[in-house]
Chain A
């Protein structure tokens, strides 16, 4: 009787620990093979055949199609440069320089990876439609209310993610530091 109880307890612990760890890694992701530059994180290896098992589990669970290495690379930011989570009710400025690429796009998603509805039907910017300053730099204002210049509406949602995708770019599996890939800065400039 006691042996049975102990076996059951061991199996219970095994199930909770095992499936719990799997669920955690599949939903939150791991640091395996990540490239972090400022607030931006990319996993260039997810676009190749040697994608790690944790990323594979996350990709199939979410129903995503990762961007292939010959196509480009995707960076995600959930926070600003000071690690403050991106808040749709605040004014956030994305500015500065971008790594070499033929095109890039910046897109705003809710926490589930869906686009956020707004009256302008603007869900992001491409490198071609952005309004630049005289020095070639740009500034994108991510805010719930209309702003002058490059305004990216948040729809006032509490948490969002920004995705910065580079197409036809040397940035990829071999990239290590900010010097190879100078990413734009993200700063929260004001909250109501």
Chain B
């Protein structure tokens, strides 16, 4: 009898370990997470507009129907990403997610303080490789460090009234997300800086 009781206690304790391990592992093994859902319908390192949130759209739960949403699925292994989002009339925000949907950074139009939100996204290693003077000239550009090489950038523009939705979508359509093309120029300038 005591042996049975002991077995059950051991089982419960082992169960706690199983629970902790499975909770920690779930973000890695989930196959229906937002990134996987968005992969078939978005282009890599480019802005893709999402269909408007309506009852027939079961892409992701809890989408705000008052927003036009666009997604840039990024991969930084080939180089940093340059993101440009023109500010819409009402409210615009840009949120950054890692491959496992951790929201590591978000900014809105007012905190950006300009008519266009301009950001450079890179991994920490790429940030460290930036030439020193580059950093100074780029002081007005915001540099964001991504904790993972891949992830999602979500661009949102508010339509305060349903009639303003086309306007919000148009403003998002003018945004761009692309690999930095001035990479060779940067390397050419680097020796000059050493003089």
Contacts and interface: CB of A to CB of B under 8 A. Distances in A.
A100 B4 CA distance: 59
A61 interface: yes
Contact of A15 (B15, B34, B96, B154): B15
A102 B109 CA distance: 11
A33 interface: no
A114 B160 contact: no
A135 to B, nearest CB: 22
B19 A68 contact: no
A112 B21 CA distance: 26
Given A14-B15, A14-B18, A123-B53, A6 B3 contact: yes
A184 interface: no
B60 interface: yes
A173 interface: no
A17 B97 contact: no
A10 B158 contact: no
Contacts of B34: 59-60, 63-65
A125 to B, nearest CB: 8
Contacts of A16: 15
A59 B7 CA distance: 35
Interface in B21-63: 21-24, 26-27, 30, 32-34, 36-37, 53-58, 60-63
A8 to B, nearest CB: 10
B125 interface: no
Nearest to A9: B7
Nearest to A76: B62
A81 interface: no
Given A9-B7, A56-B27, A62 B17 contact: no
Interface residues of B, number: 65
Interface string B124-165: 000000000000000000000001000010101011111000
Contacts of A13: 7-8, 11-12, 14-15
B64 A105 contact: yes
Contact residues of B: prevailing secondary structure: mixed
A57 interface: yes
A22 interface: yes
Contact of B19 (A22, A123, A163): A22
Interface string B172-192: 000000000000000000000
B168 to A, nearest CB: 12
Contact of A128 (B3, B58, B103, B161): B161
Contact of A109 (B8, B26, B62, B105): B62
Interface stretch (A43-51, A85-93, A137-145, A174-182): A43-51
Interface of B: 3-4, 7-8, 10-19, 21-24, 26-27, 30, 32-34, 36-37, 53-58, 60-66, 90-91, 93, 95-97, 100-108, 110-111, 147, 152, 154, 156, 158-162
Given A68-B103, A123-B55, A168-B91, 15 more contacts: A6-B7, A9-B7, A13-B15, A14-B11, A18-B19, A49-B104, A63-B32, A68-B96, A71-B107, A109-B61, A114-B61, A121-B54, A124-B64, A163-B64, A167-B93
